Amino acid sequence: MKENRKDGRGRVSRRDFLGISGALIAGASIAPISLAAETKKEIKIKQTRVLGRTGFAASDIGMGCASLTEGNLVRYAYDKGLNYFDTAETYGRGASESAIGKAMPYMDRKKIFVTTKLDLKMDDTEQALIERFQKSLGRLKTDYIDALLIAGATSVTQVKSEPFHAAVKKLKAEGRLKHAGVACHGPRGMGDPMEKVLVRAAEDGRFDIMLLVYSFLNQKEGENILAACKRYNIGTTAMKVAPGKLKDVPDFNPENPTAEQEERISMMKGFGMDDEAAIAQVKAMVEGDKAAREQTKPFVEKYGLKTEDQLWEASIKWVRQNSDMHTVCITMTDFDKVDKSIALSGESLTSEQVSLLKDYSIKLGSTYCRHACNECAGSCKYAVPVSTIMRYSYYYEQGYQRLAMEKYAALKTRNESNAISCAGCDAPCEGKCPHGVMVRNNLLNVHSMLTLA
Ligand code: SF4
Ligand code: SF4
């Protein structure tokens, strides 16, 4: 679809978008947009921070583009002062880069910072990486990329990849690339922890940008990485900054189980249990889930939580309050989310939000499997990649349903274990989790979510 300009500056507004793309809205998954919102106080980026030695002044709120398909969202955010866009060759199999490319003619290239990422494989050559980078350039409709990151680095060995660094050197010499970077959300299976990967990457000297997991629940590890980045003047960007959703759990009626419960019963039977044993197991697990969720109720009541946005907003403010974190990459799936995200620019936590996060850590911390953690890994005889699978469930909750399900299905394709192994296991991993996460229940829930939905 050709994108129109509605005023002399080429700005796009919600109203313009409705005019331009009414037909698209009818079939799209984005939420309907209220025209009344046009009359609200204008929402703008209020703060920028220099991304370390890149020297670029980035908006404190950046756009995480994993599920992006619509160029108008990019233009809308840009018009509000957002200038940092984080994408990857794999996001939507190139659709995310193409969406940014659609918006590119409407933005001042020098005023934005675009990062993309390449997944590194064992047999990648310098030439193969350059060819893939060239495809990203084509989709992004630009002559150069501000930073090329290694996607989801899982080990210290990977950040030293010679084909990657040789490709970066060549692309920089040709003016097609400005900086190298690395993104890490922890190991897969038995890789290195995020802190080790990123601190070594900082010491390596060839990376100017890092994208890391940082939240009020992943504080210590993140702060050690930020200290290393500060020492070497490296630009820092945060991802996965808020815990997942606060969920309710349906009751269990063996005569009338939900689809997920039915699936779980058949998983148990697949491990040799008879009907009675499988039903008893599922009943116990649902009760376990409900007990965990019971902790949620008083918390929700105490803080008058009406929507999950309240926890989400406080979590983002917590991250951006640390001036060593230069920008926060937030997934923005529609115009409302762009507005809500940009409204957090320059904003500090209220005292009530400080208590909310503190209480969440104490009372509900055990409901959340930390990103980038791998402490329970060695205890699983089936080598189930616990935090990786929990990360996929996070993607699902964040609106990347297809991505999450594809990634989960890919575990089996690569002969890696998925959560089905948990059905017949007595969960020694739970004894190893310092946060008291109910690993087995969580993983079985995720298995249902990512294979049935
Ligand atoms: S279950 Fe606990 S130990 Fe295992 S990855 Fe999650 S937070 Fe870490
Ligand atoms: S419940 Fe068992 S199979 Fe599942 S992750 Fe824990 S140890 Fe592994």
State the Rg of the chain over Cα: 22
Q: What is the pLDDT of residues 380-398, one digit of tens each?
A: 999 899 988 988 888 887 7
For residue range 249-260, what is the model confidence (pLDDT) as tens digits? Answer: 677 888 888 877
What are 335-380's pLDDT values in tens digits?
999 999 999 999 999 999 999 999 888 888 887 888 888 888 889 9
The predicted model gives 208-219 an average pLDDT of 94
CA 93 from centroid of its chain's CA atoms: 16
Atom number of ligand 1 nearest to Cα 368: 7
pLDDT tens track for 292-334: 677 777 777 787 777 778 899 999 999 999 999 999 999 998 9
Residue of 446, 442, 396, 448 lying closest to 260 (CA atoms) = 448
DSSP secondary structure letter of residue 184: E
Summarised one tens digit per residue, pLDDT across range 342-353 is 999 999 999 999
Tell whether the model's pLDDT for residue 28 goes beyond 60: no
- Whether 189 lines ligand 2, by a CB cut-off of 6 Å, is no
In the reported structure, the alpha carbon of residue 431 is separated from the centroid of ligand 2 by a whole-number distance in angstroms of: 11
Query: What percent of the chain stands above pLDDT 90?
Result: 53
43-244+307-342 topology per CATH: TIM Barrel (3.20.20)
d(CA 443, ligand 1 centre) in Å: 11
Residue 6: per-residue pLDDT: 39
Our answer on whether the CB atom of 420 is closer than 6 Å to any ligand 2 atom is: no
What are the residue ranges spanned by the domains of the chain?
43-244+307-342, 259-301+361-452
Q: For the residues 93-107, what does the mean pLDDT come to?
A: 96
- pLDDT attached to residue 398: 74
390 Cβ below 6 A of ligand 2: no
| Inter-CA distances, 58 with 43, 78, 373, Å | 17, 12, 28
From the CA of 383, give the closest atom in ligand 2: 8
Distance CA 134, CA 137 (A): 5
| Centroid of ligand 2 to alpha carbon of 36 (angstroms) | 50
C-alpha distance from residue 66 to each of 23, 100, 198, 284, 291 (Å): 24, 11, 22, 37, 34
